[in-house]
Amino acid sequence: MAPKAVRRCVAAHDESRPATGPVRRPRIIDPHPAKVEECVEGPQRRVRTDVIHERLRSVGTKEIIRPPTGKPMVR
């Protein structure tokens, strides 16, 4: 291991926390959680990603450029 990594791991151990862990990376959808929640609410609670994508595009969201998968987003 590199000396910098060893120092980081030792410091984490001394603080009684995990040395490594999952890191949450930013997602394209992060700025729009309210709109996604609005799409998912309802009796069925199952919405395809392409439907959410179209709804976000209809309200003027230009940042979302990835093509939708068409798979269910939430069960």
Report whether pLDDT(66) > 60.
Answer: no
69 pLDDT more than 80: no
Quote the percentage of the chain above a pLDDT of 70: 75
The predicted pLDDT at position 71 comes to 55
Structural domain includes residue 13: no
Tell which wins on pLDDT, 57 or 73.
Answer: 57
What gap in Å lies between CA 63 and CA 28, rounded to an integer?
7
The rounded percent of the chain whose pLDDT value lies above 90 is 4
Mean of pLDDT over the chain: 76
Domain interval for residue 71: 26-75
| CA atoms of 1 and 44, how far apart (whole Å) | 51
Residue 15 included in any domain = no
- Kindly tell me if the per-residue pLDDT of 72 is higher than 70: no
With a CB cutoff of 8 Å and minimum separation 6, the contacts of 1 are 9
Question: Do the domain assignments include residue 8?
Answer: no
Residue 12 forms part of a structural domain: no
Residue 30 lies in a domain: yes
50 domain residue, yes or no? yes
Q: Give the residues across from 48 on adjacent strands.
A: 72
Q: How many domains does the chain have?
A: 1
Query: Is the residue at 5 inside a domain?
Result: no
